[in-house]
C-alpha cells in the first residue's frame, strides 16, 4: 500500500502559525501533524510514503518518506498529477496533509476492496458547529444511496442537509487509480487554463470535482462511513481551537488523541530465513554469541526503497546470505530511544529461504551469525517482539508448508 500526502499548499489561511513552515509541521500532541500521520499509516502496515511537499524545504524525522517537490502553486489534484504522477499506481491511499485522524480509520480504509473508497463523517454536524456559527456555511454537499456516493463536494442548495462530510482521505485500487489518472489527463487536454466545474481554472479544481466527474460518468465511488475521529486545520481558528480543546481536555469529543502515535516512526524489514538440513528446518540469526542475546536480521528502510528490497538487502548485509522471499511478512514493532529521542519502529519480517552465500561474509554490525533450529531460536531470541513473528511464521508453515518447499 502506497500513501500519498498532499501538502504543497502554502497555508496562507494559517498565518502567522505557518510563516516559514508548511502547515503539516504544525504541532499538536508533541510532534508535527505529518509525523503523526506517517506514524499512523506505518502502524497500519503502509510502507511506501510520499509527501508532495511544495515550496518549503523542511522535512520530518521519519527517514523512509519520499518528498515530491511541487512549485506551481495550484490545487491538490494538480499537485498530485504534476508533482508525483509516477506514484499514482497500484493500490494508493491519498490523504490531505492538513488533517488528523485516528489509526483505525486508516485500517478500515486500507481493508476496503472497492475501486474507489472515500471517507465520510456521518457525525460531522457538532464538529462543524464548533467551527462556525452556521455549520452549513463551511459544509459541502454529500448525497448517498446505500454506500454509493451520488453527489460530493458541491455547493449546498437551499434547505439541503448533507448526509455526511468528506474529510480529505480516500483509497484507490489499481483500477481506480488508473481511472482517475486517465480522467485527469483527458480533462487537462481539454480544459487546461480554462474554467471547469466550480473552479475558475482547471488547475485549481478540487478533488471533489474530480470525484463528482467520475460519478457523473458512471464510475462507482463508495463511502466509508465514520463517526468523528478526525480534525481539519484549514484556518487559524481551526488550529487555535484544537490547541484550546487539548488544554481543557475536551478534544476527545472529536478525536481521541490517546489513539494517535506520539513519536516519529521508523520502518524496518528483515527476514525469517530458513533452510532444511538433515530433515529439520534451521533459522538464520545474528548476535554477539551471548546466551539469549540473538536477533533476527533486519534493518531500516531507505527513502523510496521497496520494503521487500529492504528485507533482502539487510539479510545479505548482516548475514552474508542471499535469500529469496517465499511467504508473507509478519509484522512487529517496538519503541526505543536513540540520540535523546524516542522512536516507534514498525518491522516487517518476511518469510525467506536461503539461496546462496556464506555466513562468514557478513558485515560488522553483529559479531556472529548462526543457523539454529526454530525451537532453539525461540529460546535464544532476546526480544519477545521477535519471538512472536517467528511463532506466527511457524504456524503459517504448519498450514502451507516450509519455505524450502516453496
Tell me the CB-side half-sphere exposure of residue 385, using CA atoms within 13 A. Answer: 12
**What's the alpha-carbon Rg for the chain, to the nearest Å?**
24
CA dist., res. 378 & res. 386, Å (int): 9
- The SS3 assignment for 382 reads coil
pLDDT at 404 exceeding the cut of 70: no
How far apart CA 66 and CA 50 sit, in angstroms, is 5
The CATH homologous superfamily to which domain 2-259 belongs is Spore Coat Polysaccharide Biosynthesis Protein SpsA; Chain A (3.90.550.10)
Rounding to the nearest 10 degrees, give the CA dihedral for residues 350, 354, 359, 365: -10
Please determine, for residue 247, whether its predicted confidence score (pLDDT) is greater than 90. Answer: yes
DSSP string for 46-86: --EEEEE-TT-----S-TT-EEE---S---HHHHHHHHSGG
pLDDT digits (tens, 9 = 90+) for 78-122: 999 988 999 999 999 999 999 999 999 999 999 999 999 999 999
Closest CA to 382 of 298, 302, 280: 298
* Residue 196: burial class (beta carbons within 10 Å; 0-12, 13-18, 19+): buried
264-400 has the same fold as 2-259: no
Q: What is the mean pLDDT of the chain?
A: 94
Of 260, 107, 125, residue with least CA distance to 169:
107
Return d(Cα 122, Cα 126) in angstroms, integer: 11
Query: Where is pLDDT greater, at 9 or 38?
Result: 38
4 contacts 90 by C-beta, under 8 angstroms = no
- Of the pLDDT bands very low, low, confident and very high (cuts 50, 70, 90), residue 402 is low
Arithmetic mean of pLDDT, 27-54 = 93
The set of residues, in sequence order, having a beta carbon less than 8 Å from that of 87 and lying 6+ positions away, is 2, 4, 48, 50, 66, 68
DSSP letter (8 states) at residue 222: E
Domain boundaries, the chain: 2-259, 264-400
Evaluate if residue 256 carries a pLDDT over 60.
Answer: yes
Please tell me the CATH superfamily of domain 264-400, with its number.
Nucleoside Triphosphate Pyrophosphohydrolase (3.90.79.10)
Lowest-confidence range among 37-46, 53-62, 321-330?
Answer: 53-62
pLDDT mean over 316-339: 96
**SS3 category, 380:** helix
Q: If you average pLDDT over residues 308-327, what whole number do you get?
A: 97
Task: State the average pLDDT over residues 373-389.
Answer: 96
Each residue of 341-364: pLDDT tens digit?
A: 999 999 999 999 999 999 999 999
Query: Does 178 score more than 80 pLDDT?
Result: yes
Amino acid at each position: 500500500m502506497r500513501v500519498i500526502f498532499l501538502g504543497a499548499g502554502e497555508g496562507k489561511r494559517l498565518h502567522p502559525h505557518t510563516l516559514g513552515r508548511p502547515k503539516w509541521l504544525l504541532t499538536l500532541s508533541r510532534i508535527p501533524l505529518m509525523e503523526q500521520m506517517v506514524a499512523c499509516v506505518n502502524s497500519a502496515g503502509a510502507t511506501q510514503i510520499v509527501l508532495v511537499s511544495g515550496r518549503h524545504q523542511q522535512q520530518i524525522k521519519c527517514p523512509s518518506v519520499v518528498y515530491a517537490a511541487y512549485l506551481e502553486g495550484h490545487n491538490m489534484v494538480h499537485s498530485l498529477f504534476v508533482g508525483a504522477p509516477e506514484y499514482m499506481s497500484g493500490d494508493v491511499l491519498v490523504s490531505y496533509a492538513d488533517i488528523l485522524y485516528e489509526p483505525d480509520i486508516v485500517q478500515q480504509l486500507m481493508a476496503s476492496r472497492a475501486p474507489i473508497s472515500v471517507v465520510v463523517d456521518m457525525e460531522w454536524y457538532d464538529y462543524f458547529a464548533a467551527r462556525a456559527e452556521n455549520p452549513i456555511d463551511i459544509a459541502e454537499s454529500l448525497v448517498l444511496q446505500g454506500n454509493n456516493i451520488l453527489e460530493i463536494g458541491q455547493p449546498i442548495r437551499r434547505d439541503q442537509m448533507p448526509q455526511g462530510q468528506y474529510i480529505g482521505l480516500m483509497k484507490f485500487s489499481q483500477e481506480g487509480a488508473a481511472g482517475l489518472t486517465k480522467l485527469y489527463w483527458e480533462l487537462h487536454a481539454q480544459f487546461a487554463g480554462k474554467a471547469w466545474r466550480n473552479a475558475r481554472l482547471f488547475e485549481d479544481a478540487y478533488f471533489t470535482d474530480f470525484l463528482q466527474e467520475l460519478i457523473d460518468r458512471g464510475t462507482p465511488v463508495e463511502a466509508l462511513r465514520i463517526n468523528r475521529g478526525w480534525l481539519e486545520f484549514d484556518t487559524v481558528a481551526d488550529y487555535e481551537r484544537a490547541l484550546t480543546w487539548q488544554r481543557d481536555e475536551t478534544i476527545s469529543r472529536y478525536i481521541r488523541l490517546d489513539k494517535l502515535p506520539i513519536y516519529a516512526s521508523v520502518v524496518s524489514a528483515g527476514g525469517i530465513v530458513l533452510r532444511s538440513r538433515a530433515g529439520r528446518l534451521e533459522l538464520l540469526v545474528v548476535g554477539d554469541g551471548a546466551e539469549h542475546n540473538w536477533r533476527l536480521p533486519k534493518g531500516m528502510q531507505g527513502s523510496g526503497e521497496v520494503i521487500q528490497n529492504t528485507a533482502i538487502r539487510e539479510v545479505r548485509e548482516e548475514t552474508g546470505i542471499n535469500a529469496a522471499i517465499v511467504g508473507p511478512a509478519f509484522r512487529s514493532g517496538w519503541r526505543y530511544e536513540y540520540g535523546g529521542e524516542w522512536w516507534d519502529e514498525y518491522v516487517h519480517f518476511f518469510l525467506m529461504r536461503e539461496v546462496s552465500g556464506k555466513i562468514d561474509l557478513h558485515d560488522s554490525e553483529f559479531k556472529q551469525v548462526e543457523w539454529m533450529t526454530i525451537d532453539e531460536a525461540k529460546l535464544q531470541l532476546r526480544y519477545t517482539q521477535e519471538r512472536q513473528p517467528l511463532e506466527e511464521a511457524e504456524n503459517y508453515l504448519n498450514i502451507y508448508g516450509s519455505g524450502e518447499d516453496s
